[in-house]
Structure 1
Amino acid sequence: MTILTPEILNLVVPRPIIEVVRYRLFPLAALGFAMLAVLPAAATTIVPAADPGELALDSEAVFLARAGISRVVSRPSYLATTTELEVVSVVKGPLSSGSVIEVIVPGGVKNGIGWVVAGAPKLESGEVYLFFADRDPRGRWQPRLMADSVLRQAITEDGSKVFVPLEEASRLSRVGGFGHDASLVPGPVNKEKFIVALERRLAGKPGWDWAPLVRDDGSDLY
């Protein structure tokens, strides 16, 4: 009998299992977007990483980048959104600071047809994000585990930089038996300490300690 451990599951399900809701926008724009706002998306199932260090080890690249212009691309059977990224710094991988790349995520709206994909990260132009990413067969970068593998950089009231999980991460369904259905990162984490912790894991140091990383002082984010 084979016992499916998290490690084996990662081999069995190397990519998120994505279910989409397809919809058509009606001529009345206001009505169409009102329907879009309340339309439930089907679940997207992932095999989560045990911690961010494990996710960094599994990912082809880990990097900080500023989001630019997004566009929706259509294929015969799906829609996807590509976003231009300017790489700010690299923790792991074949990228360099200042390079411009594209990241692609499933879902989008084009020509009156929309695809809603639960857990797909929504990237805002001008915002800075930390990505755990792989390249698809066409060489395009994509978050390894949907919104669980993208963190937004924010600034607290005291000027400190933190990483915060994306709201879309709460819409993912997770398997693997890690004991919770929350996003991989529980809340705002100190940016510098978080990157140092990632670098330690990438250097072969075992373990992951959330205590020195998590910000729980209630500071407002900007």
Structure 2
Amino acid sequence: MAGQRVRRVAAPLRTQVLEALRQDVLAAEFEPGERLVEARLCARYEVSRTVVREVLRQLESEGLVTTVPNRGPVVTELTAADAEALFEVRGALEGLAGALFAERATAEQRERMGKVIRRYARTHRKAELAERLAMKDEFYDILIAGAANPVIDSTLRGIHARVQMLRGLSLRARGRGPETVRELTAIHEAAAVTADAAAARAACEEHVRNAAATALRELAAQHPGPHVG
């Protein structure tokens, strides 16, 4: 299994390995529940055990890695119930963030939101999953900053870290790309152009609701069985 080769450039080595392993997890190079063996990771990324351990601790804090007794670190495996709970809270918070953005965002933040959504619309069909996730992260950075609420900032970022793998499932789903463009465009129109707080809240909630339905469907396809939640 070939991973991303870590380039020894200006960025700290730990940061490079963290980004490489994070992207490999999100791209399903490692399966949910798979053990992350230190020796194999050292060989894969050509770094020391110290660096690997630091990276694994960081990814555990983000919710992408779970330490299991007698097994060690494994890729986090979310159940349908876990996913539903996360999306419920995410929808409520993103709806509030959208409403606050409409009321509080600066002209620069409104312009930046439009730019990233237009870039996503132009490139999402050909972009790699990592690129699409990066653009979505940029969109959320702008949305959260424009909401100007530190509690939403810290809480929503923590939730986003835990749903990253589910976001990858949603973005990879057939037909989801054009739907995402439509939904993000609606958020931008309401939150940044017309500054309609109620419409912005509704658009954000719809986006999360549709993303949740797609991710849960993909999750069920990976793990057939009785519905949980």
TM-score when normalising by structure 2:
0.23
TM-score when normalising by structure 1:
0.24
Q: Where is the helix percentage greater, Structure 1 or Structure 2?
A: 2
Q: Give the structure, 1 or 2, with the largest relative contact order (CA under 8 Å, sep 6 or more).
A: 2
